[in-house]
Structure 1
Amino acid sequence: MNSLSRVWWTAKAVGWDNLPRRLLQAWRVRGGYLRRRLNPPDFSDEAFAAAGGAIEAHQGRLWARRVERFLPSPSPTTLRAVVGDEPWLNHVVRVAQTAMEGDYPYFGRWGGRLGWPPRFNHDTVDGADWSVGVHWLDSAFPPNPPGDIKMVWEPSRLSLAFVLGRAFARDGDERWARAFWQLFDAWVEQNPPQLSVAWACGQEVAFRLMALLFGAAATLGTPFATPARLRAMTRLAWQSGKHIQININQARMQGNNHALSEAAGLWSVALLFDELAEAPAWREQAREVLAAECARQVYADGSYVQHSLNYHRVMLDDLLWVVRLGELAHQPAPQPVIDALKRSAQWLLEMIDPVSGRVPIYGANDGANVLPLACCDHDDFRPVAQAAGYYLHRRRPLPGGPWDEKLLWLWGPGALDTPPQGRQPARAFHARVGGYFVLRGQQSWAMTRCHSYRDRPSQADMLHVDLFWRGQNVLHDAGSYRYRCREPWNHYFQSTAAHNTVQLDGQDQMVKGPRFLWFEWTRSRLLQFALSTGGRCGCFEGEHYGYRRLGGRLTHRRLLCRIDDAYVVVDTILGEDRHDVALRWHMCDAADAASGQTPERAPAPPDKAPGRGWRLCDDLTLSLIAPPGFAVSLSRGQEPPAVEGWQSRFYGLKEPCPVLSARAHADLPVRLVTLVAPTDSTLDFDPAHIFNPAAPLLLRGVNDAALADEIERTCGGRLQVSRD
């Protein structure tokens, strides 16, 4: 790619409409404007007093008014009714105790040794200590950073405040209140305004403020919430609002959830600290940003601009917070915020596994969980789906469970009195603007993606397929791991090779640019998406053109057909000449399998077509049928230089996972067939024309004439059924 093309794609990747913001930000940084506006003395206690910061004697009265406009703490009795003792012990008490013993929680999954009170600017992974006392403009983003900055941003989000506040609300044990205010004191002491990397990102400032407000409100009536501490908390809220207001252009130029989060932070300060002189102006600025960004970032079908399920949750948490605080303060959120919340909630409800609450680990996953208000695993999305779904209809969309705690904190005990809707996800769901397609059986469901990018992509994963079976994510995305680490890991998890799709010539579907950017964005076309009249068969077919840059009009076409709870995947690679072809399936591992078994060879009955059957779990088998000359193999935890067989369900952690692949240097066109079916399924393929891309695929073992008719009609002739 020549220099001119790289410049063009860089501009497209950051967004043509955001170029003026980018140029403005570059001038503000390089010209010294931002340094002058974010001058530490301007955030001092004297500056706070001049902005309307009240003296200590008035803090009790002001905070009593604040909590009237904040999320009320549920009664201990109500909390116990929603969450049993065992999940509470595991997800709240032990987390708090472990943190106070020096192992701080990271990304909802693992702990790092920070001591107590925590050393917030210490990176426990890379062993680095980030600078304090130096302006973040000089320390946060050096050419050779000492480590992944997210490893110090994560503890400074102070998500532990949610744990401590919830613990005190239920148990009334003052050690939790004492610990919260110790946490607050330590953070303030270690992070003077603008003089640590914790101030480098306005989104981090907003998340921290949300957590602190929750903890302060929950523990307000304790002797640890002294007038001096309450004034310090008010001062930090003012400092946070001032920082966000000055530098929100940095967030808006990114065109992603940063702008929503920072506007949510500014909205919080304006509504809850209305004695501050800047509060009215901040409220209107937050209102303007929220309205504009919601209209742009949340697509008309409810899917999200960042192509990520985890960032979809971040967006929903931001909007739930904004809407609820607005209701409590009698300041309704802008209508575009409400509309975006409703359509994005509806979209998410179609993407959740009804057994486990998990969603595909699709797209970038930085481990964020903005409002961790339920005793559920980090990757369980039922808390946010229940809360957002309730906002849609003022009824719970999901059955009751510990995930109701988040709903309780946001909307109070009255929300729990509403009966669950008994809602069932659609058998065939499409969000065509975002390019998401879902097919559901009685015990399974599959998601795939077919999209021509209109906004910056994060991973090279077009036509990837995720499959859930009885709550297990049996075929999955590899995840993200970390945003900054050594190669090849920095690139691997974003690459085509880390997804359940076809790779050609060892290349990604797009050209990798610097940091988070991709060039030559994938274009795709939907060929068909249908559900049979009887509902027993659903069909998706689409193709993408990401490899056209390699010559020969290369096209990857994928057919995904659901027949009851069996799935047929037909991959056809169209084009000319010989190319390296690799099809991969990332499979569940022993730790994720209900049977506790690692995927193993399952011998195919003699009457089946040539192929290799692999047992995904006790009652589900995958058969990968490849033409002669293809090598079919299983890899797991293969180290550099040829990385293969890894997954990262949680930020900062990677672990081996089995990957089944079929590879060859083959003449095009070529066709590969995958069948995922229950072990008692009779489905099979006629071997006569199975590898001929021009011929229909002949399916055997369908012993129901009505179902056979459904399959042929729904798949538009791509699949035909043997009537022998």
Structure 2
Amino acid sequence: MVARRLLPLGIAPVSPEVLLGLALPVFRPEGSPAEVQGILSGERFTLNTDRYTLRQWEAELSGRGGAGGAGTPDIRAVWEPARLQHVTLLLAYLSGREEGENLPAVREFARQELLGWLDANPFLQGPHYRSAMECALRIPVFFYAMKLLDNLSPAESTRVGEAAYAHALWVEANLSLHSSRGNHTVCEAAGLVFGGAMFRDAERGRHWLARGIALLGEELVRQVLDDGGALEQSLSYHRFVLDLYWLTADFLEGSGLHDCGRWRSRLRKGEAFLGAFSSPGGRLPALGDSDDGHAVAPGLAPAREALPLPKSGCRAFPAAGYTVFAAAGGMRLTFDHGPLGMPPLNNHGHADALSLTLSLAGNDLLVDPGTYRYNGEPSWRSYFKGTAAHNTVTIDGLDQAVQETGFIWSNPYGCRVLRREEAPHGYLVEAEHDGYRRLTDPVLHRRAVVLAARDALVVRDSFTGAGEHHFDLHFHLHPEAAVTRDGECWHVQRGGSRIWLRLLGEGDLELLHGGESSPLGWYSPAYGSKVPSKLLRCRKSGACRSTSFGTAIGWGDAPDISWMEALGGAL
């Protein structure tokens, strides 16, 4: 391979003086004894794929060019254990602890895991070198190991350093730039920073360090929007990107290599953005793609800075395109009126314009069903990112944009906010999208949401355009929710939280359950996992101007809805 010829012979070992001057980032929380024991007993991070299947997939991918269509391996799951983040968890457990009876065993196990992986995966051989991002994620692990594993022999330490050098060289030659410039780019830049710092007594190392810092600075102002939101329109990837920045900033400043003060002010905006969406336990709704990736390791986070957030009110994020309503009792409603994703490919965006999610006291009730998996099951990939899987309206059974592949959209829609004001009954936000302008008879979808002061909200969907169409309104429910009907009112309960829904005016909500024959009504609690769930749907057909949906949603006793009907008709 050309890349193999790029590797210089006789790479100088990492200087002990340089290594001594580099600071370990702070991890929170540290690995628990139970987590460590699980790893020592053979547990790995596998994204809900059994290890036998992973070994089969890894062998298959070693002999083919890449992940393909139906029935092919999901390379994302294969990559997960090769990030070596289980080793990071062990190293975090070792860091700062006094010697104990199990620490030598943990240290030796970490050493064997690291060297064993290098033995099994020679440089540029096999699927783990296909992604520069995956290589970049391993570079910090090599650094942590060289700092903390005092049981590495000089030859073994040199070998780990050479692996870090080779990985950084490969990352530099394969940076994700141009149309692929997203979270991969941030990850690769962070890898260059760690690799460059380790070899900064050499010209190439200094170049990596400078390149990584510069690229991180450029991407920060592009990917973290002015309101703190995510350019990629994915909360999960935003968490991943922010953590990469916190990790790298801590490393750079602790090592005296760069002042990251300007980064931190923007990162705090990002934390405030995510904080507005977070449940009391820190869980985020599954808006956009999620591959359950971690900057450090599952269960480990870098030191973050966050500001206290108001517990109630209406928070607007105009650059990202979201409004988050919060009310007493722990009610949180999200309203998505943002773009499809990061242009030009919109890789990790879902066609979820004007979609809602709702949680109460930390219990998710109206949900975004998530991602499931990226590769090997294209029909499921298509469903989970499609419009029908979200709490919005489909027209003529079509998505709001056109899925070209699992990671490429065409005909992206535009959204705009029409009104944002304090209404007599609370807060009003109205927005529209033009995703169905591509139809022979184009249609605009407009949604108004009013959060009332009476523990309820009203949602009004209206349409403008030519011709007659089929309209489907969806409300996806958490799979653990119990659903009952009382006349025109549907009651949804999960844990100690309960909401009710009913239509205002004509139409009827029907309860559907997920089945293998139809993907509608499925939920992905984590990457690689899906379970059947329930949804409420209302179907109408007709001309645009004579078709609309009015929905009342409340948390508490179902009240007299006369004022809601009047409000819905006035929107």
* TM-score, scaled relative to structure 2: 0.89
Q: Which residue of 2 aligns with 1:501?
A: 392
SS at match of 2:549: strand
Going from structure 1 to structure 2, the CA distance change for 1:696 and 1:569 (only over 3 Å counts) comes to closer
Q: Which residue of 1 aligns with 2:333?
A: 446
Going from structure 1 to structure 2, the CA distance change for 1:696 and 1:146 (only over 3 Å counts) comes to closer
1:664 matched to 2:540? The reply is: yes
Going from structure 1 to structure 2, the CA distance change for 1:338 and 1:449 (only over 3 Å counts) comes to same
| Residue among 36, 56, 78 paired with 1:96 | 36
- The question of whether the paired residues in 1 share the 8 Å contact of 2:230 and 2:238 is answered with yes
**Following the alignment from structure 1 to structure 2, what is the Cα–Cα distance between the partners of residues 686 and 346?**
35
What's the offset of the Cα at 1:666? 3.4
Number of matched pairs: 559
| Residue among 97, 113, 120 paired with 2:51 | 113
**Following the alignment from structure 1 to structure 2, what is the Cα–Cα distance between the partners of residues 339 and 252?**
26
What's the offset of the Cα at 1:626? 6.1
What's the offset of the Cα at 1:241? 1.1
- The question of whether the paired residues in 2 share the 8 Å contact of 1:48 and 1:235 is answered with no
Letter in 1 for 2:459: V
Q: Which residue of 1 aligns with 2:469?
A: 579
1:548 matched to 2:437? The reply is: yes
Report which structure shows greater RCO (CA 8 Å, sep ≥6): 2
Q: Which residue of 2 aligns with 1:589?
A: 479
Q: Which residue of 1 aligns with 2:128?
A: 198
**Percent of pairs with identical residues:** 23
Q: Which residue of 2 aligns with 1:220?
A: 149
| Residue among 509, 517, 526 paired with 1:632 | 509
Going from structure 1 to structure 2, the CA distance change for 1:255 and 1:426 (only over 3 Å counts) comes to farther
**Following the alignment from structure 2 to structure 1, what is the Cα–Cα distance between the partners of residues 497 and 247?**
42
Q: Deviations over 1:465-514 (max 9, x none)?
A: 11110001111111111111224212100100110100111000011113
Q: Which residue of 2 aligns with 1:287?
A: 213
Written as runs of structure 1 = structure 2, the 5 A alignment for 1:308-323 is 308-323=234-249
SS at match of 1:342: helix
Q: Deviations over 1:305-345 (max 9, x none)?
A: 11000110111011112211110221225676445423322
Written as runs of structure 1 = structure 2, the 5 A alignment for 1:9-48 is 35-36=1-2, 38-39=3-4, 42-43=6-7, 47=8
SS at match of 2:432: strand
**Following the alignment from structure 2 to structure 1, what is the Cα–Cα distance between the partners of residues 9 and 262?**
33
**Following the alignment from structure 1 to structure 2, what is the Cα–Cα distance between the partners of residues 350 and 524?**
21
Going from structure 1 to structure 2, the CA distance change for 1:560 and 1:279 (only over 3 Å counts) comes to same
Q: Deviations over 1:110-160 (max 9, x none)?
A: 46336xxxxxxx725x7552455x7xxx74457899411112111111110
Written as runs of structure 1 = structure 2, the 5 A alignment for 1:412-451 is 423-425=309-311, 427-442=313-328, 443-451=330-338
**Following the alignment from structure 1 to structure 2, what is the Cα–Cα distance between the partners of residues 431 and 514?**
29
- The question of whether the paired residues in 1 share the 8 Å contact of 2:72 and 2:376 is answered with no
1:232 matched to 2:167? The reply is: no
Q: Which residue of 2 aligns with 1:370?
A: 295
| Residue among 499, 503, 515 paired with 1:621 | 499
1:71 matched to 2:11? The reply is: no
Letter in 1 for 2:353: M
**Following the alignment from structure 1 to structure 2, what is the Cα–Cα distance between the partners of residues 646 and 105?**
24
**Following the alignment from structure 2 to structure 1, what is the Cα–Cα distance between the partners of residues 26 and 537?**
52
- The question of whether the paired residues in 1 share the 8 Å contact of 2:276 and 2:309 is answered with no
Letter in 1 for 2:503: I
| Residue among 486, 492, 498 paired with 1:603 | 486
Q: Which residue of 1 aligns with 2:258?
A: 332
- The question of whether the paired residues in 1 share the 8 Å contact of 2:510 and 2:536 is answered with yes
What's the offset of the Cα at 1:303? 1.2
What's the offset of the Cα at 1:550? 1.9
**Following the alignment from structure 1 to structure 2, what is the Cα–Cα distance between the partners of residues 471 and 696?**
29
SS at match of 1:183: helix
**Following the alignment from structure 2 to structure 1, what is the Cα–Cα distance between the partners of residues 351 and 492?**
28
Gap regions ≥5 residues in structure 2? none
What's the offset of the Cα at 1:213? 2.7
Greater CA radius of gyration, 1 or 2? 1
What's the offset of the Cα at 1:683? 4.7
* TM-score, scaled relative to structure 1: 0.72
Going from structure 1 to structure 2, the CA distance change for 1:652 and 1:275 (only over 3 Å counts) comes to same
Q: Which residue of 2 aligns with 1:52?
A: 12
SS at match of 2:519: coil
What's the offset of the Cα at 1:515? 3.3
Written as runs of structure 1 = structure 2, the 5 A alignment for 1:151-550 is 151-169=77-95, 170=97, 172=100, 173-217=103-147, 219-221=148-150, 224-248=151-175, 250-333=176-259, 337-353=263-279, 355-372=280-297, 374=299, 387-390=303-306, 397=307, 423-425=309-311, 427-442=313-328, 443-452=330-339, 455=343, 456-457=345-346, 458-531=349-422, 537-550=426-439
What's the offset of the Cα at 1:424? 2.8
- The question of whether the paired residues in 1 share the 8 Å contact of 2:67 and 2:73 is answered with no
Q: Deviations over 1:242-280 (max 9, x none)?
A: 1111121x4454020111110110011111332344111
**Following the alignment from structure 1 to structure 2, what is the Cα–Cα distance between the partners of residues 466 and 696?**
21
**Following the alignment from structure 1 to structure 2, what is the Cα–Cα distance between the partners of residues 500 and 563?**
20
Going from structure 1 to structure 2, the CA distance change for 1:203 and 1:430 (only over 3 Å counts) comes to same
Letter in 2 for 1:649: P
Letter in 1 for 2:326: R
**Following the alignment from structure 1 to structure 2, what is the Cα–Cα distance between the partners of residues 270 and 199?**
19
- The question of whether the paired residues in 1 share the 8 Å contact of 2:25 and 2:247 is answered with no
Indicate the larger mover: 449-458 or 284-293: 449-458
